[in-house]
Amino acid sequence: MSKIPLNTPVLDPRIKRVDLESTYGTTAIGENEHWISWEVFHQKKRGDQHVHVGIVHAPDAQLALLFAKEQFGRRLACVNLWVTKSSDIFSFSYDDEDIFDNATAPEKQYREASGFRVMEKINRYKKSKQKA
């Protein structure tokens, strides 16, 4: 395979490429040209939890809400959206993932809500109501 020399202005005869660097020099990114990212939380109905659905890029919170409405508020049932700067989110490091190892350990099943046998009680109650 022949090596394509660097700075070849046109690689594919159908495509004209602009040599950005020689045309414009290196470009500095000005304020507000590079928008920050915002995490979007979507609420399906009043009283429900807001659930994280993705991110948008915007210069400020109000525009972030507008963009979030366009991306996440149009197709699903929605009563409310939250946005928060991605930089305001704090998280663990994936290197520390092992601290969660025990969460699903079989010998700790007693921690799972499924351990509580509530449905049986409810069904028994419903049945007794029906009879009465």
Partner 1 sequence: MEAIKNLLFRMADDELIYGHRMSEWTGMGPIMEEDIAYSSMAQDKIGHALANYSILEKEFQTAIPDKLAFFRKENELMNSQLVELSNHEYDFSLVRHFLFDHADFIRYEMLSTSSFVPLAQLSKKIKGELKYHVLHADTWLTRLGNATEESHARMQSALNELWNYALGIFEPSDYEAQLIAEKIFDGEKVLQRKWMEKISPIIEKANLKIPSSSTPVYGGRKGYHTDQLQPLLTEMAEVISSEAEGTEW
Can residue 56 be called a binding residue for partner 1 (CB under 8 A)?
Answer: yes
Closest CA to 81 of 104, 58, 113, 110: 58
Can residue 53 be called a binding residue for partner 1 (CB under 8 A)?
Answer: no
Minimum CB distance to partner 1 smaller for 62 or for 109: 62
- State the greatest distance between any 2 C-alpha atoms of the chain, in Å, as a whole number: 89
Minimum CB distance to partner 1 smaller for 74 or for 129: 74
Check if the beta carbon of residue 72 is closer than 8 Å to that of residue 81: yes
Check if the beta carbon of residue 79 is closer than 8 Å to that of residue 44: yes
Can residue 62 be called a binding residue for partner 1 (CB under 8 A)?
Answer: yes
Count residues binding partner 1 (CB under 8 A): 10
Cα separation, 69 vs 79, in Å, equals 11
Can residue 63 be called a binding residue for partner 1 (CB under 8 A)?
Answer: yes
Q: Mask 71-90, x = binds partner 1 (CB under 8 A)? A: x--x----------------
Sign, Cα dihedral of 82, 83, 89, 94: positive
Q: Whole-number minimum distance, CB 77 to partner 1, in Å?
A: 13
- Residues forming contacts to partner 1 in the complex (CB under 8 A) are 32, 56, 62-63, 66-67, 69-71, 74
